[in-house]
A and B are shown apart, each in its own frame.
Chain A
């Protein structure tokens, strides 16, 4: 399959110039299909001060199928499933919207942008989304609290 070459290329690119506030490494040096992204909570978001780990899993037929993003650090966010998976699936990560030309760094950036501006209309956690829409203060309070509690240390 064609994917290894592409993945290696992307990995070297993203390691050389990672999206702002992130660092990318392989979870296991020997497996290029699982990346670990360390993302600092964007300063303009409620997650500021947090350090989030995101696991990026590349399917066997990447880039023809989208990568899977999941937060291994617990995060209070309408678009991240609040379970042990912490999966994020929207926009370009959906298999019907995925384009082989998309790059993983773009996906990472998208995730970062979602931290800044959650997409409550396309949420996995409906209750959090409702809160985000209707009771922003409370949402921010919890999000900050969780950030402090779960994403405190780097």
Chain B
């Protein structure tokens, strides 16, 4: 802005000899005159003004009503004078000092739209909106900007587009213009201007000025003017301006806004520190205020704690700096984007929720991860055949048919769950995840289908009688066999987080099916699945007994005695221990699988309870399930623990709102739940304690939850929850739900809602359980059920199936 520098001395000069010179040139300039004339609709008037009727014009008619008329005499007038003088070609003595300029400028700019009308009204009622209003900003036109297409805007809108939005497109027709003409002539066509009509031009901005005054007015807008409405300082640059507002006004400007917001300098806002924080977090939205902007705050990256100007900027940042899971994205692209802080976090997610190729080379390559175990095996067979033993290779070629049987279309809404067992094993693994409609409804890719078919054929050929139904084979050697094997061949499955989590799934699969069996007419697939599961249990038992038929018979006897209530669950457990000569870990799996095939809820629960009781008594310090895997994941989740805390804090807002919608949820109850969860995540080592935790703590959880279900019971239960709330914290670590690194998941958004737990996002609106889960944690809700059969039954009746799954999940952690 060279011209500014030039001008400032002039202004000073103007100041020294206030009004006289200015009025003179003003007449020549005819700028105010136009305005006035137009407003009056009286051309005669206009010409009159041009002739030098300056005082009146200045006060009353000038388009720039905003330039404080009362004050205009001093600095203002001087300013004017300064500006005008160049045109008379009488350069005033160069004096330093830009203050005056600033003054005029600020006022000018700051009030361009807002006050013009007001002031104009004050003065002569000439500025009424209808007279001539810029189509774009709806403010009175001060100078016209004419584009080659002969579309007009006010010079401010035109300058805004060209200087701030960096576009040369016409605001009306988007036609690009190399230059536009700033003129005071309201009608003259673009092509009627000849080069000699221009007093100056700015090739950088592409503007030709008809008059120097217009140029002045324009360039003034571009200076670093202090936004304070009473301050007339124009600074040399941003740093200077920041210093100025800080030292003079004790205010700050929003750094993000000054860098990104497309407004003129003086249009920025000044904040106190507190106001700035508010501005960043919530925006300036001030309902009802006349100056409200609709701005809702600068969104923050939940990982970096860094704010960005807007969603676009945040998106760019996340895209460049953080990772997304392409598999999840592919599954459901309508969901909110979820990011992982870096590849390590993403890899953890891959291990946990998908099928990561554990091969060293692939790990280095990164992103070698698959949607399903099937795909992973295909990849392994293809790419690393040498890494697998012969047996493993054969196993890998086998297909767990059970998984396919389960997929029947009418069940698709809960597919995510059931898939935990089979093909999409990666899909339903997360107990936090409510059924994801799209995921399993998504058709198999063509190549996947083909591959499956091929696999099925191969396995039919290569294995004999045991071929069909993966479960028929003995579990441990069977690579494709679903979850619970701790001793899954290393080559096939990447280290899995923890056994409890895995073990949860077979149960889910079964539980899904059983109610269905009774409730729907379509029995076939379920029936099949049930048989398969029975077989699987038998198979496992047989395997553990080394196919000793007598012992197997004994096993069957015991089970049927339990079924017919001849013996209690704990007796059954005891019997198992005498019968099986294996580790309690092994036995636990059997018990759990066995439990899940009981259709009678009480039997199932009784057995599981007995099992967890036994463990509570006999295994004070159970080893972590699935050693290496567990340690890996637990350390990871511990690492992310601190992040959770932060994320939680920032989520507080949004979850609270979810809760309040809920109505029946006591806020305090939720607060109680949160610390427990955090604790859980942070110290996931405790997870092993899961086994120890008897039914009582679960009960506590129930109590705190139940009010939402059955308000009448509230008092006693609340009491219960108070008593055991301490235990709650211990109980929670057991739940895989809490350990899930939802912590590292965040989606961009404004302020508080930027980060939220995955679950929260999914909490259903009308299902109290669903949303309850969202607000606190799925684990809690589920646990709540476990404690008593009545509740469980009740919920069976009234809840959606997805939730039931959750409940069931929890039985099996012990």
Chain B residue nearest to A101 (CB atoms) is B172
Query: Is the pair B293, A60 in contact by a Cβ cutoff of 8 Å?
Result: yes
Q: Which of B113, B135, B263, B287 contacts A30 (CB 8 A)?
A: B287
B577 at the interface (CB under 8 A from A): no
Contact of B295 among A30, A60, A83 (CB under 8 A): A60
Q: How many residues of chain A are within 8 Å of chain B by beta carbon?
A: 28
Q: Are B287 and A28 in contact (CB under 8 A)?
A: yes
Task: Say whether B136 faces chain A, with CB atoms less than 8 Å apart.
Answer: yes
Q: Does B136 lie within 8 Å of A2, measured CB to CB? A: yes
Interface residues in A111-133 by Cβ distance below 8 A to B read none
B147-176 near A? 1/0 per residue, CB < 8 Å: 000010000110011000100011111100
B463 to chain A, nearest CB (A): 40
**Chain A residues with CB under 8 A of B171:** 99-101
Question: B291: CB under 8 A from chain A?
Answer: yes
B361 CB to nearest A CB, Å: 37
Q: Bound state CA distance, A83 and B156, in angstroms?
A: 40
A residues lining the B interface (CB < 8 Å): 1-6, 8-9, 28-34, 58-61, 63-64, 81-83, 97, 99-101
B161: contacting residue among A1, A5, A34, A64, CB under 8 A: A64
Shortest beta-carbon distance, A89 to chain B, in Å? 14
> How many residues in B have their beta carbons less than 8 Å from beta carbons of A?
33
Contact present for B263 and A1 (CB under 8 Å): yes
Neighbouring A residues of B165 by C-beta, 8 Å: 64
Q: Say yes or no for B294: interface residue by CB 8 A criterion.
A: yes
A8 to B113 alpha-carbon distance, docked (Å): 13
A3, B267: Cα distance in complex, Å: 12
Q: How far is the CB of A70 from chain B (nearest CB, A)?
A: 14
**CB within 8 Å for A64 and B160 given contacts A1-B267, A99-B174:** yes
- What 4 A-B pairs have minimum CB-CB distances, sorted nearest first? A33-B294, A2-B137, A30-B287, A30-B288
A-B contact pairs, 22 of them (CB 8 A): A2-B139, A2-B160, A3-B293, A4-B290, A4-B291, A5-B137, A6-B137, A30-B288, A31-B287, A31-B294, A32-B292, A32-B294, A33-B294, A60-B293, A63-B137, A64-B262, A82-B334, A97-B174, A99-B169, A99-B174, A100-B136, A101-B135
Question: Is there an interface contact between B138 and A99, defined as CB atoms closer than 8 Å?
Answer: no
The residues of A that contact B293 with a CB separation of less than 8 Å are 1, 3-4, 33, 60
A100 touching B294, Cβ below 8 Å: no
Q: Assess whether B548 is interfacial by the CB under 8 Å rule.
A: no
Question: What is the CB-to-nearest-CB distance from A62 to chain B, in angstroms, rounded to a whole number?
Answer: 8
Chain B min CB distance to A9 (Å)? 5
> Smallest distance from the beta carbon of B49 to chain A beta carbons, Å?
27
Which secondary structure dominates where chain B touches chain A?
Answer: loop
State A81–B333 Cα separation when bound (angstroms): 12
Residue B745 at the chain A interface, CB threshold 8 Å: no
Q: Which residues of A contact B136 (CB under 8 A)?
A: 2, 6, 63, 100-101
Give bound CA distance, A38 to B294, whole Å.
22
Query: Can you name 9 extra interface pairs (CB under 8 A) apart from A4-B113, A34-B294?
Result: A1-B263, A2-B113, A2-B139, A2-B157, A5-B139, A9-B138, A64-B165, A83-B334, A101-B171
Given A2-B112, A5-B113, A64-B161, residue A99 in contact with residue B172 (CB < 8 A): yes
- Output the least CB separation between B688 and chain A (Å): 40
* A99/B137 in contact, CB under 8 A: no
Rounded to whole angstroms, the CA-CA distance of A31 and B287 in the bound complex is 6
Residue B793 at the A interface, CB < 8 A? no
| CB closest residue in chain A, given B294 | A33
Query: Please, which residues of chain A bring their CB within 8 A of the CB of B285?
Result: 31
Bound: A82/B334 CA distance, A? 9
What are the residues of chain A within 8 A of B112 when measuring CB–CB?
2
Across the interface, which residues of A come within 8 angstroms of B151, CB to CB?
Answer: 101
Cβ of B169: which chain A residues have Cβ within 8 Å of it?
99
Name the interface residues of B270-300: CB closer than 8 Å to any CB of A: 285, 287-288, 290-295
Bound-state CA distance A135–B167 (Å) is 43
Give Cα distance in the complex from A5 to B291, angstroms.
Answer: 10
Give A2 to B290 CA distance when docked, in angstroms. Answer: 12
User: Which of chain A's residues have a CB closer than 8 A to the CB of B113?
Assistant: 1-2, 4-5
Most chain B CB atoms below 10 A, which of A5, A31, A32, A61: A5
Q: In the assembled complex, which residues on chain A have CB atoms less than 8 Å from the CB atom of B161?
A: 64, 100
